[in-house]
Structure 1
Amino acid sequence: MNPLSYETKPASQSVTLRHLRIFIAVSDLGTMTAAAKALYIAQPTVSQAISELEAFYGVRLFERLSKKLYMTPQGFQLLDYARHISSLYNRMDMAMGDASEGSVVKVGASMTIGSCFLPQVVEAFTKKYTDVPIEAVIRNTRDIEAMILKNEIDFALVEGTVHSTNIYADPFDEDRLLLLCGRGHPLYGSGKLETTALSGKKFIVREEGSGTRELFETSMAAAGIPWQAAWVYSGSDGLISAAIHNLGIAVISRRLAAKALESGELWPLQVEGFDLIRRFFIIRHKNKYLTGPMKNFINFCTELSRG
C-alpha cells in the first residue's frame, strides 16, 4: 500500500468507476490494446488509467514480461472488488432509472439442483413476486463457482464443494448419491455388498468439475477401490439411460433416479460402509450486496427445502 494515507493524498488523486472499468477490461481481455478497442478509447488512455491506479495504491497490478501482461496478487485482489463495485453501480443505475421495474435476480445452479429443485423454487417465487424477473444458469459446480467469482451471477445453489475462500457457503438441504445398475448387470438384485464388489467395475459418471463426480472420486479413493470411467455424461438423462442399457454402474442423485427405481429399471447397490451423502449449499461472494429480491429468493429456497 502507498505510504501516503488516503487523507493526505491530493484531491485530484482518486479512483473512479472509469478507472475500475478500464482495469476490468484489461484483465478480461489480456492486453491494453484489446481493452482500448472494446471500450472505444485510445490505447494511451488505457495505459494512463492503469498507471494512475498503480500510483494511487502504490502497487503493481500487472507484470509486463515479453510484451505480455500477467496480473499480480494485488491485481487479483483489486479485480475482485472492482467487479462488485461496477456491478453494484449498474444495479443502482437501473433501479434509479426505472424504479417501477423489478430488479433481475441472476441465480446459478449445479446440474442436480437445476433439474430437481430450482424449477419449483422459481415457480413459487414468481407467483408471489410477479414483478421480479429470474435469470437462471445451470452448469457444473466448478463452472458455477467461477461465475460467482466473476460476478456473472448473484448467488447459486450447488451440491458440490466450493474451494475459493472468497465464497460463503450456507447448507440448506441434504442429498444422497446412489450406485445404480440395470436389469442385465451381474449385481442387479444383490443385497448387502462388500466394497471389494466394486473393485475394477465400470462406472457411468458425471464430467470432471461436477460435485457428484468429486464426491464419488473422493469416496472411492478413501476406500481404496480401483474403478473405470466407462461413460461420462454432463446430464442425468444420459447416466440413467446408460445404466438401464447395462453399460456400467451409474452414480447419480436419488432424487433424479426416483422414476427408474420405482419402475425397477434400475437397482440400488447397498455397499457396506459406503454412504455417499452430501449437502446442498447456497453460495455467494463474500463481498456481494444482496438486494431485497435476492434475499427473498434465498428464503424461498430454505423454506421449500424444509417442506
Structure 2
Amino acid sequence: MKYTLKQLQVFLAVAHHQNVSRAAGELSMSQSAVSGALKDLESQFAIQLFDRVGKRLQINELGTRLRPDAEALVSRALELEQAFSLHHIAGDLKVGATLTIGNYLCVPLMRDYMARTPDSRVQLEVANTDTIAREILDFKIDIGMIEGEYHHPELQLEPWREDELVCFCAPDHPLANVPELTTAQILAAQWILREPGSGTRQTFDRAFHHHLYRLDIVLELQHTEAIKRAVESGLGVACLSTITLQDAFERGTLVPLRTPQFDLRRTLYWVLHRHKYRSAGIKQWLDVCTL
C-alpha cells in the first residue's frame, strides 16, 4: 500500500483548515511533519491535491473528488481502532440539528442513544438548515436533522417525521378572538418571522408565497424563544412549529390563530453526505430516530 492512514488524516485536516499550522495543531504534529506527509502523499502518486495561494492551501478538483473516499476510509479505521481498544459497538457522534429539532426533539434522542451506548457521547450543534447542510458537506458533522428541504447532489435526504406550523399571537392582541383570519387581516398584521435560510421560514414562505411581497415583516429573528417573547410583548404575530408552542398554548401566554386557507404542513428530515461511511454510531442514531 503506497499511502498510510496518517497521510490521509493529514490530507483531511489540511482540507478542513486550508492551513498547515492549524492542521498540525489538530493532529498534534509539527508543521514540517504535516507538510512532509502531504508532500509524500502527492509525490507517491504524482498528483497535486491543493492549489497553493500564498500560505493558504485551497483544495482543488482532484482533492475534492478524493476527499469523501478518504473520509470514509479514515472513519472506518477509527471505528475499528475503537472496537479493538474499547470494545464499543457505537462511538461518539456529531449531530447537527436545526433549532426546532435541536431545542425540542434532540434531548430524548440523545438520552436513548447514550442509554444504548453508555460510554458514548453526542456532540450537538444547533443551527439553521443552510448551516447544517454546509457542515455535512464539509464533513464537520456526521448526521443532520433538518426542518426544511435541501437539495444538493452530494446529500442524501430522508423523511423522518411530520410537523405543522401554526400562526399565533398574544392573548390580548386584536386578532386573538378572531375565528379565522382573512387575507385582509393577514396583510394588516405585523409579522415576526424566522430568518431566511431556516426550515421554518422556508415552509412559511411556501405557504404564503402569493402574499409575501405585501406582508408587513417587522422582525426576522434567529431564535424561536426570542420570537415567542416578542409576540408575548405585543410586537406582532408569528408562525412557528406546533412543537415549540404547546406549553405556551397550555399556559395561555400565547394563542393559536386559524389560517385553514394556508398549508403549513411540512416534513422533518435526516440528512447524510452520500459518501459518508455509515458507522455503527450513525446506524444506532437512525435506529433510535425510528422508535
Considering the TM-score relative to the shorter chain, is it more than 0.5?
Answer: yes
Secondary structure of the residue that 2:244 maps to in structure 1? Answer: coil
Q: Does 1:106 align with 2:84?
A: no
Q: Does 1:185 align with 2:165?
A: no
Residues 93-125 of structure 1 show CA distances to partners (whole Å, capped at 9, x for unaligned) of: 222122258522333322212233222233344
Secondary structure of the residue that 1:282 maps to in structure 2? Answer: strand
The CA deviation at 1:158 is: 1.8
1:216 corresponds to which residue? 204
Instruction: Within 5 Å, give how 1:67-216 maps onto structure 2.
Output: 68-99=56-87, 103-127=91-115, 129=116, 131-140=118-127, 141-199=129-187, 201-216=189-204
Distance 2:22 2:228 in 1: 45
2:288 corresponds to which residue? 300
Kept in 2: contact 1:15–1:56 (CA 8 A): no
Distance 1:105 1:48 in 2: 28
Identity fraction in percent: 27
65-74 vs 235-244, greater mean Cα deviation: 65-74
Distance 2:76 2:244 in 1: 37
101-110 vs 274-283, greater mean Cα deviation: 101-110
The CA deviation at 1:177 is: 0.9
The CA deviation at 1:250 is: 1.7
2:251 corresponds to which residue? 263
Q: Does 1:281 align with 2:269?
A: yes
Secondary structure of the residue that 2:3 maps to in structure 1? Answer: coil
Distance 2:196 2:244 in 1: 19
Q: 1:176 to 1:57 in 2, by over 3 A?
A: farther
Q: TM-score, normalised by structure 2?
A: 0.83
Q: 1:223 to 1:231 in 2, by over 3 A?
A: closer
The CA deviation at 1:226 is: 2.6
RMSD (Å) for aligned C-alpha atoms: 3.0
Q: 1:288 to 1:268 in 2, by over 3 A?
A: same
Distance 1:41 1:261 in 2: 57
Q: Structure 1: 5+ residue runs without aligned partners?
A: 1-10
Could you tell me which amino acid in structure 2 is paired with residue 283 of structure 1?
V
Residues 233-262 of structure 1 show CA distances to partners (whole Å, capped at 9, x for unaligned) of: 333222222111111112211121112223
Q: Structure 2: 5+ residue runs without aligned partners?
A: none
Kept in 2: contact 1:170–1:281 (CA 8 A): yes
219-228 vs 280-289, greater mean Cα deviation: 219-228
The CA deviation at 1:67 is: 6.1
Distance 2:55 2:34 in 1: 18
Kept in 1: contact 2:155–2:271 (CA 8 A): yes
Q: TM-score, normalised by structure 1?
A: 0.79
Secondary structure of the residue that 2:290 maps to in structure 1? Answer: helix
Secondary structure of the residue that 2:243 maps to in structure 1? Answer: coil
Q: Does 1:233 align with 2:221?
A: yes
The CA deviation at 1:279 is: 0.5
Q: Does 1:49 align with 2:41?
A: no
